[in-house]
Structure 1
Amino acid sequence: MKGVCLIFGVLVILGSVRCELTTGFYSHSCPKAEKIIQDYVNQHILKVPSLAAALIRMHFHDCFVRGCDASLLLNVTPTSGNQTEKGAIPNQTILGFDFIDKLKSLVEAECPGVVSCADIITLAARDSIVVIGGPSWKVPTGRRDGLISIAFDTFTQIPAPFDNITILQQKLVNKGLDLKDLVVLSGVHTIGVAHCSSFSNRLYNFSGRGDQDPTLDGEYANNLRSRKCTTPNDSTTLVEMDPGSSKTFDRSYYTLLLKRRGLFQSDSALTKNATTLKYINKILKGSLKKFYKQFALSMQKMGRIDVKTGSAGEIRRNCAFVNS
């Protein structure tokens, strides 16, 4: 049985079947698929560990727009007539597209037309975190690839670096996530990097008067201005979001938040809300094992956002294009 499907009376006549994600979805149709993905990730992420952060970010950005359906990977769609998500400003700094394309080609060579690009992203994101010493979690599969990708959707749905807690909460609620998920998923910033342009307003012109953001630690802000983001319009320099620990999946990101050293306004926002601040302190007071468990649960929730299953969407032959 390829997947777990719920078939509803008259819908069978129309050929419409709704399937649920399930562990081992490809166990008969492509039994080697998950091992192929895992082996390639294990082989290459250790050489370029920064790709782990890139892949988890890709997964995040994909799921928040039209669900986890690989719409982020599309170069063009026949129906949109617009720029796709990949070219939108929030996604222009995402890396790893070639990595996913390579995984797709390996899986296609084994089982043509069986494994979706959406499942490949989800599995690769999990496997890459495991390689760098982070938590693992079960990834039920059976996602299908979307047919639509519109750049504008990214601006209204993906949480942005400058969002306040109210906007962040609403964007997550819209996807079935809550404030606890927000805090836990933000923990991935422990391995991330950011372009200066994502937070330079906090250093140079926060309120329009050439000032710094008073909620950002002054010493840290001055250090960033003098050593990293030395000009207001720097769009190329990268800064570790968790300096000194950016290659380790730990909880030091949360320690930095309490020291007012979170790079983004969205990071700082987590300390200004009683509920999110409570979760931060709870994570720091608990064990690393407990944090890993919480992170795994939130990643599983995120990986189920608006998934397409059954007869919805398609299984793309090439992740960058819908099937002709």
Structure 2
Amino acid sequence: MSLQPTADQRDLRAAVAAFLTSHCGEAAVRKAEPLGVDTALWARCSGMGLPGLTVAVEQGGGGAGFVEAAIAAELMGRHLAPVPFVEVTSAVSVLAEFAAVTAAGEALRSTLAGDLVPTVCLHPVTAGTAPIVPAGAVADVVIALRDDQLVLARTAPGVRGEALVPNLGAMPLARWDLAGADTVVLASGAQAHSAFARLRGRWQALTAVALVGLGLRAIEIALEYIRQRKAFGTPIATFQTVQHRLADDATALEGGRLLAYEAAWAQTADPDRADVLGASAFLFASEAAIRTTDACLHFHGGYGFTLEYAIQLYFRRARAWSQVFGDRRTEYVRLARLLFDDDRRGAHGLS
């Protein structure tokens, strides 16, 4: 993986950063709560071609890779953008892969046109229900693993609204009842499980880099505050314990950033390691973002817990975004098996 961005990547970063600075300030984030989605902002994102960033040009997309998607995701995290970019990008990669299936091809074209919002269920369907679907409260279709089949499901209007999942991070989470849903099979057997693993790895990689962007912005907010706040007549920014903690957190986030970008790069360049890197990046970035926002909020003193201060927006989302995938301890166990099981090590190109 090259650590030097290309000219196109620098241009993409500049364009997305300028767009979010103009259209996604703190006021927009607050206004989108509690559901956590700004439909007008997402329409603008669609107009920029962000949903199809990783889709091949011949399929109507931008022809970029997941490193470019990671660049956008990092900026989305930095601005706490209330849009389903990570979920849609993960779903679109599956729709593009199975575009030969009529329903998937139609869904892909509708998504690129800005007329459809697809999402993914990160865990297998249980008892006919897709549990805790990210962006499920605003999505039109969901891609899920049901038994040994990867399916594209569409529910009747109103079903999602009745299954909203309230959460601290103001995310549009929902449970989808697939028992009576209109579903189309995209793949079966080993092919279905393989595709499901890929979409989860992509979601993890993009969520990881979004958490890094969130954490780095939280440090900037904390720095602005501690330069003004005084204790015993002295700015707390001069206290070594504050300085060392922020330096440690910034270092951890930069490490997480490198790992997250490698995970994004591996999605197409090194697929044998993509699963391991996606899980590693997600877990590392989750821990780093939670630890960082915890410190940044506490440096604000009691003010940090009040709704008037921006830092609580980051504190809440750092925890909520990382919990969408479920208990991180379970994912640590899965990662350990990938890393230390001899058979799986060979399958993932590890020595």
TM-score (norm 1): 0.30
TM-score (norm 2): 0.29
Bigger fraction of residues in helix: 2
Bigger fraction of residues in strand: 2
Instruction: Work out which structure has the larger RCO, using CA pairs closer than 8 Å and 6 or more positions apart in sequence.
Output: 1
